[in-house]
Copies of this chain bind each other. A is one copy, B any other.
Amino acid sequence: MIPCPISDRTAPWDVLPAANRAVMEGLDYFIVENTRTARRFLSKAGIARPIDTLEFRELNEHTAAGREVEELVAPLLAGRSAGVISEAGVPGVADPGALVVEACHRRGIRVVPLVGPSSILLALMASGLNGQSFAFNGYLPVKPPERAQAIRRLERRAQSEGQAQLFIETPYRNAKLLEQLLQVLAPATRLTVAMEITAPDEFISTHTVDEWRRGQRPDLQKHPAIFIVG
């Protein structure tokens, strides 16, 4: 499980331990969310092998569980090793990477996670919200009424269980989501907005909803962001 940077504007070895390089250079087979970005990552990381000699196969939201995943794992049964690379950040979290890991455990194939940046974890670390109990909920529903319901459900859980609730949105809908959060959440509820994590314009801020309403809002449009209610 080979992490890559979260941001295009971050040098790989600024956010990855140097020890990851030896693992990456030992592999010639990669199961990746997106071949183009994975090749670009390995190239920017300056690995010794020519990128053209490496084999890439895609595992993404179009991959069906079952036969397609079996085919990805087949070379491992013959003793080959594979590197799993996500579109951004750590594989197996907030991406479809778990499908291939699950197939490995069923066959007794060892899975080794390497250290790297996770926007979820970094946002939580810097949020000041409850790091002893938290949940990542992926994407909220797209339609405003269902989304309002989901926001209220997460707020109730944050209050009744003290569990910080993390979620994400596609960047071009972030500004709208923030607006709806400030409409729907109670004034005293705390909200973290974490944007462009690890990038030069990283922004991470936690305030009550009331403070967010009265203060200046960050320009989230088209910037990847994590939201936390706690």
- Where the two chains meet, the residues of A that have a C-beta atom closer than 8 Å to any C-beta of B are 1, 13-19, 90-95, 97-99, 101-105, 111-113, 115-118, 120-138, 163, 197-198, 202, 204-207
Which of B93, B97, B132 is within 8 Å of A121, CB to CB? B93
User: Please, which residues of chain B bring their CB within 8 A of the CB of A105?
Assistant: 127-128, 205-207
Return A227 CB to nearest CB of chain B, in Å.
Answer: 15
Return A142 CB to nearest CB of chain B, in Å.
Answer: 16
Contact A1 B125, CB 8 Å, known A16-B17, A112-B202, A115-B116: yes
Contact A113 B126, CB 8 Å, known A17-B16, A102-B206: yes
Q: How far is the CA of A205 from the CA of B91 in the complex (A)?
A: 17
Could you jot down 22 A-B contacts, CB within 8 Å?
Answer: A1-B125, A14-B18, A14-B19, A17-B18, A18-B18, A90-B121, A92-B131, A97-B131, A98-B129, A101-B127, A102-B206, A105-B206, A111-B126, A111-B128, A111-B204, A112-B202, A112-B204, A113-B125, A113-B197, A115-B122, A134-B136, A135-B136
User: Please, which residues of chain B bring their CB within 8 A of the CB of A101?
Assistant: 125-128, 206
User: Please, which residues of chain B bring their CB within 8 A of the CB of A93?
Assistant: 121, 124-125, 131-132, 134
User: Please, which residues of chain B bring their CB within 8 A of the CB of A130?
Assistant: 98
> Which of A16, A125, A131, A136 gathers the greatest number of chain B CB atoms within 10 Å?
A125
> Which of A98, A99, A117, A134 gathers the greatest number of chain B CB atoms within 10 Å?
A98
Q: How far is the CA of A97 from the CA of B125 in the complex (A)?
A: 8
- Chain B residue at minimum C-beta to C-beta distance from A90: B125
User: Please, which residues of chain B bring their CB within 8 A of the CB of A136?
Assistant: 132-135
